[in-house]
Amino acid sequence: MVTNDVVRYYHGLMKATVIAIGSELLGVQRLDTNSLRLTAVLDRFGVELIAKSVVGDNEEALVAELRRRAADSELVLVTGGLGPTADDVTRPATAAAFDRGMQIDEGLVDHMRQLFQSFGREMPEVNRRQAEVLDGATVLKNRRGTAPGQRLEAGDCTIFLFPGVPRELEAMIPDHLEPWLDSHAQNVGHGLETGVVKIACLAESAVEERIAPAYERFGRENISVLASPGDVKVYFSARGTEAKRRAELDEMRRVLGELAGDAVYTDRDDDVLETVVGRLATDAGKTITTAESCTGGLVAERLTRVPGSSAYYLGGIVSYTNELKMQLLGVPESYFVDHGAVSEPVARAMAQGVRSRYGSDYGIGITGVAGPGGGSEAKPVGTVHMAVAGPGDDDVEHRKVRFPGGRDRVRKQASQLVLDLLRRDLVRRS
Amino acid sequence: MVTNDVVRYYHGLMKATVIAIGSELLGVQRLDTNSLRLTAVLDRFGVELIAKSVVGDNEEALVAELRRRAADSELVLVTGGLGPTADDVTRPATAAAFDRGMQIDEGLVDHMRQLFQSFGREMPEVNRRQAEVLDGATVLKNRRGTAPGQRLEAGDCTIFLFPGVPRELEAMIPDHLEPWLDSHAQNVGHGLETGVVKIACLAESAVEERIAPAYERFGRENISVLASPGDVKVYFSARGTEAKRRAELDEMRRVLGELAGDAVYTDRDDDVLETVVGRLATDAGKTITTAESCTGGLVAERLTRVPGSSAYYLGGIVSYTNELKMQLLGVPESYFVDHGAVSEPVARAMAQGVRSRYGSDYGIGITGVAGPGGGSEAKPVGTVHMAVAGPGDDDVEHRKVRFPGGRDRVRKQASQLVLDLLRRDLVRRS
């Protein structure tokens, strides 16, 4: 790549900061998520993100922020504020912060005018502002919108101005940021990469306890645990050249997998539990049906989120009433009288009923008290009976659990546990 | 409230900044969400948030950040970094930033020791650090954790140090932040409050077009539109004394409601479409069943998310195969041959079948191609047929739509549209 840039080499880690511009990002409805996309790229190139901030559409505040961040870091990534209206202060603020002039680039104006024409519209005069280029800056073409980006050098710092619209920013990353990092971030040998193991139905504290030896061995700062109801993700990172860090990640994955044991359902970032169940069912050539009460269709919905699930999922029943449990699943009326709708016999009968009536290898049955109403002393809110029937006629596994939390958490945890029971059965037989 | 504080009055808007501390918040997995909670409180008291930032567990970086933010604003809210380990740099960094000493408060140590004992544990010696109090600071009791907060004055600025654990912070807000704002934010007459109208199944651009006159009348900066698949939320804000802003919000709500018309399904922030359908069904004393193919249980799952839904939702069928559509819903086999599974006759038969077989007032039927596979030239991915049968025997409403986007978006939009059809029918008859 031939450029007029002064190429600088950073022998330590290059330090970067990210600034998101927009008063809407200071409200209660929105968070800046663009910075996560940028962070992933910085990580990969071994650039250290030392701070990120959000500033409103206020020129004075942005001038101060730009100067401070440029003093702290060698790379400042700015998103947003490149629109055509008076609110959009990124261009003038950057000019003021680094004492630059700005000129309208008539070539850019023509290009924008053509863009508008291609949508059958006249370019509003106000959009000319988007063609203001800072003195000494390089224009960064935006193939998904009218606002071009810019890159400029100020002292020891390189500043990128990017559009804030996520899909426009997404295109700017491979078009402009990655090529620049590739030729300037000479610390690529410090590249950071992250792996994950995902664990179903263990408490966060239980996971922490199991993986404690890995903290010792690989360093606590390189392992982090993220928990959501019924699901714990253990992320681990390694730094170095690609070969070195890959080898280390493989070792971490192996060790963490051994420590966490058969509770690990995947080490692929894009897998969720239902993807794994789907893959195992496909490989085994087994089919699944579901009979749900308290989860109200959540298990069916999760199974069918997976593309191609029609290959192994036949269908299911959401039986919110006892009548439907009898009519559609063949649960004997006496069970309701003798044990109640939330009971082991009913869960078993639901699983067996849906399996045998609708001709699948596996049948799932769930009945419980999701709350907030419906609890009793004997069966408090959170009590759930789950059963997985199959693949043999006499195989039925049952679990009774009392889940903590509100309706939403109870339903999530119940769906997670029953899918994990099914996963474990498929694994055992594979 | 009697305090030794110097009470300062701010006649303009008090300016605030928020700093979240933690290297994990600079990674690719987490965002600082505490700031949203703090923003809501600041808004209510008429305090203006001018910037927020995230800094890693780095003392030097935090010292610089604290000094800058204290120079910019009259109130700095810091979250995180109050733990007992060497990583937790908020206390020493604040001491360094504002030239304060720190002393261990033995009373606090005793209190923490008791807390540990109440969990049956010995307090680790390292936790003594959490009792370090900055000279001149007020200790803020944390009723949900061991790390106390602190409040100190530095020049014209008040700095709050809060724990970063969300449920601990949640308790600190009413215990310490709100009382302080109540006696110090004398610009409560500038309090900001926000309302919402929610709109189903209109494109964002169509909503923008309809509400354009409201932008003119109330100011573009006071109205913001947030769109997700099949759902658009229009937020509007008013500032002033409680009486003034409430009156203005009522007027904005009325005008926006008129402009957006019957596409508005609620003006309550905690409502979602299924809550509204549930309320209408309860009021009308009508019951609902569902028959789903491409949405795979999503409509059932959404209806049953609502507490108390067992009063009007009887149950449903997820019929992923043609066999189950015939067996459980009575769809005639000839329909599949003559029209295909994704067709108007099949959607109508599913809705009527589920309604009549399982004895509800309304029956919902959905069949479509969610993708990514299964599309054809005649029925491309995104094609969905929907029907709502009832409450009369001959009432069946049908829609055919081709939704944009991938599997997840198609399913969401289909579930949204069919629930909105049901809502409109319930409204018409109410």
* pLDDT for the residue numbered B126: 85
Kindly tell me if the per-residue pLDDT of A1 is higher than 50.
Answer: no
Min Cα distance B142 → chain A (Å) is: 22
In the 8-state DSSP scheme, what is residue A375?
-
> In A, which residues are within 8 Å of B83 by CB distance?
none
Reading the block at residue A424, the tokens are 């474990």
Kindly tell me if the per-residue pLDDT of A8 is higher than 60.
Answer: no
> In A, which residues are within 8 Å of B28 by CB distance?
36, 39-40, 43, 194
Q: Are B77 and B163 in contact (CB under 8 A)?
A: no
* pLDDT for the residue numbered A188: 58
DSSP B4-54: -SPP---SSPPEEEEEEE-GGGGSSS----HHHHHHHHHHHTTPEEEEEEE
Q: Would you call B290 an interface residue with chain A, using a CB distance cutoff of 8 Å?
A: yes
Reading the block at residue B261, the tokens are 């018309």
Nearest to B33 by CA among A91, A36, A280: A36
Min Cα distance A60 → chain B (Å) is: 11
Q: Would you call A33 an interface residue with chain B, using a CB distance cutoff of 8 Å?
A: yes
In the 8-state DSSP scheme, what is residue B201?
S
pLDDT in tens, A91-107: 999 999 999 999 999 99
- The rounded distance, in Å, linking the Cα atoms of B350 and B29 is 42
How much is the ipTM here? 0.84
Number of H-type helices and E-type strands within chain B: 14, 17
> In B, which residues are within 8 Å of A24 by CB distance?
224
* pLDDT for the residue numbered A171: 96
Domains in chain A: boundaries: 15-188, 191-266, 273-429
Residue B363 φ/ψ, nearest 5 degrees: -130, 135
Q: Are A13 and A47 in contact (CB under 8 A)?
A: yes
Of A29, A304, A371, the CB nearest to B297: A304
Kindly tell me if the per-residue pLDDT of A208 is higher than 60.
Answer: yes
Q: Are B70 and B15 in contact (CB under 8 A)?
A: no
Of B39, B235, B307, the CB nearest to A407: B307
What mean pLDDT comes out for the span A321-331? 96
CB contact under 8 A, B304 and A316: no
pLDDT in tens, A54-103: 999 999 999 999 999 999 999 999 999 998 888 889 999 999 999 999 99
Half-sphere exposure of A256 (CA within 13 A, CB side): 31
Reading the block at residue A402, the tokens are 């009392």
Going from the C-alpha of B398 to that of each of B250, B359, B363, B389, the distances in angstroms are: 36, 20, 12, 9
Q: Would you call A59 an interface residue with chain B, using a CB distance cutoff of 8 Å?
A: no
Of B32, B39, B51, the CB nearest to A27: B39
Three-state secondary-structure class, residue B155? coil
Three-state secondary-structure class, residue A50? strand
Q: Would you call B59 an interface residue with chain A, using a CB distance cutoff of 8 Å?
A: no
Q: For residue A121, what are the contacts with CB-CB under 8 A and spacing of at least 6? A: none
Of B52, B301, B314, the CB nearest to A26: B52
CB contact under 8 A, B304 and A296: yes
DSSP A76-108: EEEES--SSSTT--HHHHHHHHTT--EEE-HHH
Rounded to the nearest integer, the mean pLDDT of chain A is 92
> In B, which residues are within 8 Å of A407 by CB distance?
305, 307
Of A51, A54, A327, the CB nearest to B65: A51
- The rounded distance, in Å, linking the Cα atoms of A78 and B54 is 15
Of A51, A52, A297, the CB nearest to B318: A297
Q: What is the pTM of this model?
A: 0.84
Min Cα distance B310 → chain A (Å) is: 7
Q: Are A229 and A405 in contact (CB under 8 A)?
A: yes
CB contact under 8 A, A319 and B321: no
The alpha carbon of residue A198 and the mean position of all alpha carbons in its chain are separated, in whole angstroms, by: 13
Of A29, A321, A372, the CB nearest to B314: A321
What is chain B's Cα-based Rg?
28
Reading the block at residue A330, the tokens are 């063949």
**CATH numeric code, A191-266:** 3.30.70.2860
CB contact under 8 A, B53 and A56: no
Nearest to A251 by CA among A267, A232, A262: A267
Fold category of B15-188 in CATH: Molybdenum Cofactor Biosythetic Enzyme; Chain A (3.40.980)
* pLDDT for the residue numbered B10: 39
CB contact under 8 A, A29 and B315: no
Min Cα distance A82 → chain B (Å) is: 17
What mean pLDDT comes out for the span A8-24? 78
Reading the block at residue B2, the tokens are 């009697």
Nearest to B237 by CA among B13, B43, B38: B43
CB contact under 8 A, B304 and A313: no
What mean pLDDT comes out for the span A211-215? 94
CB contact under 8 A, B26 and A36: no
Fold category of B273-429 in CATH: Maf protein (3.90.950)
* pLDDT for the residue numbered B307: 96
User: How confident is the prediction along chain B (430 residues), in pLDDT tens digits per residue?
Assistant: 333 333 333 345 789 999 999 988 998 888 999 999 999 999 888 898 999 999 999 999 999 999 999 999 999 999 999 988 888 899 999 999 999 999 999 999 999 999 888 878 888 888 899 999 999 999 999 998 888 999 999 999 999 999 999 989 999 999 999 999 988 876 657 778 889 999 999 988 889 889 999 999 999 878 888 888 899 999 998 988 888 989 999 999 999 999 999 999 999 989 999 999 999 999 999 999 999 999 999 999 999 999 999 999 999 999 999 999 999 999 999 999 999 999 999 999 999 999 999 999 999 999 999 999 999 999 999 999 999 999 998 999 999 999 988 999 999 999 999 999 999 999 999 8
Q: Would you call A226 an interface residue with chain B, using a CB distance cutoff of 8 Å?
A: yes
Q: Would you call A311 an interface residue with chain B, using a CB distance cutoff of 8 Å?
A: no
Q: Would you call B54 an interface residue with chain A, using a CB distance cutoff of 8 Å?
A: yes
Q: Would you call B314 an interface residue with chain A, using a CB distance cutoff of 8 Å?
A: yes
- The rounded distance, in Å, linking the Cα atoms of A373 and B167 is 25
Give the whole-number percent of chain A exceeding pLDDT 70.
96
Q: Are B48 and B42 in contact (CB under 8 A)?
A: yes
Q: Would you call B193 an interface residue with chain A, using a CB distance cutoff of 8 Å?
A: no
Q: In chain A, which among 240-259 make CB contacts under 8 A with chain B?
A: none
Q: Would you call B327 an interface residue with chain A, using a CB distance cutoff of 8 Å?
A: yes
Q: Mutating which of B47, B288, B301 best tests the A interface, going by the most A Cβ atoms within 10 A?
A: B301
pLDDT in tens, A232-267: 999 998 988 888 989 999 999 999 999 999 999 999
* pLDDT for the residue numbered B186: 64
Reading the block at residue B131, the tokens are 């009792």
Kindly tell me if the per-residue pLDDT of A12 is higher than 70.
Answer: no
Q: Would you call A316 an interface residue with chain B, using a CB distance cutoff of 8 Å?
A: yes
Three-state secondary-structure class, residue B375? coil
Reading the block at residue A342, the tokens are 């939330």
Residues in chain A: 430
